[in-house]
Amino acid sequence: MLHTTLMVIHFFTAVSIVLLVLLQRGKGADAGAGFGAGASGTVFGARGAGTALSRTTAILAGVFMITSLSLTYVGSRSAAPPSSVLERLSQQPANPPVTNTPAPSGAPAPAPAGTATPTAPAKPAQ
């Protein structure tokens, strides 16, 4: 739940930063004023837009860094130990461990691995 909340905040912060950066006027925009682009900065005033937008961008950048560090911390924490019987059973291995049980007294013991089992010779056909 915490991870999902942090991801949503992180996503909206990133989108907001991108939009605010695209809205801001670059430092090289004053060079275009001589060629008819002088009215591009009059919407927010000469200086008002630069300080408000840059301050908001700085705040969002700080929030972005905090959510990045928080997501790293939440993602690196080890999972809590299982608290219910069903969780414990779901974490057990699928194949039970192999145990060596002695063979019944009437049956022959299996041959060790890598050795051939002796067989009786076949009777010749008459």
Does residue 44 register a pLDDT over 60? no
What are the tens digits of pLDDT across the range 71-83? 999 988 876 676 7
What are the tens digits of pLDDT across the range 7-32? 999 999 999 999 999 988 777 666 65
**Maximum CA pair distance of the chain?**
118
Which comes out higher in pLDDT, residue 84 or 47?
Answer: 84
CA distances from 69 to 10, 63, 64, 90, 122 (A): 11, 10, 9, 31, 77
Which comes out higher in pLDDT, residue 1 or 110?
Answer: 1
What pTM value is reported for the model?
Answer: 0.49
Q: What's the whole-number average pLDDT of the chain? A: 76
The answer to whether 1 touches 41, Cβ cutoff 8 Å, is no
Both tokens assigned to 78: 């080890």
Q: What is the pLDDT of residue 60?
A: 95
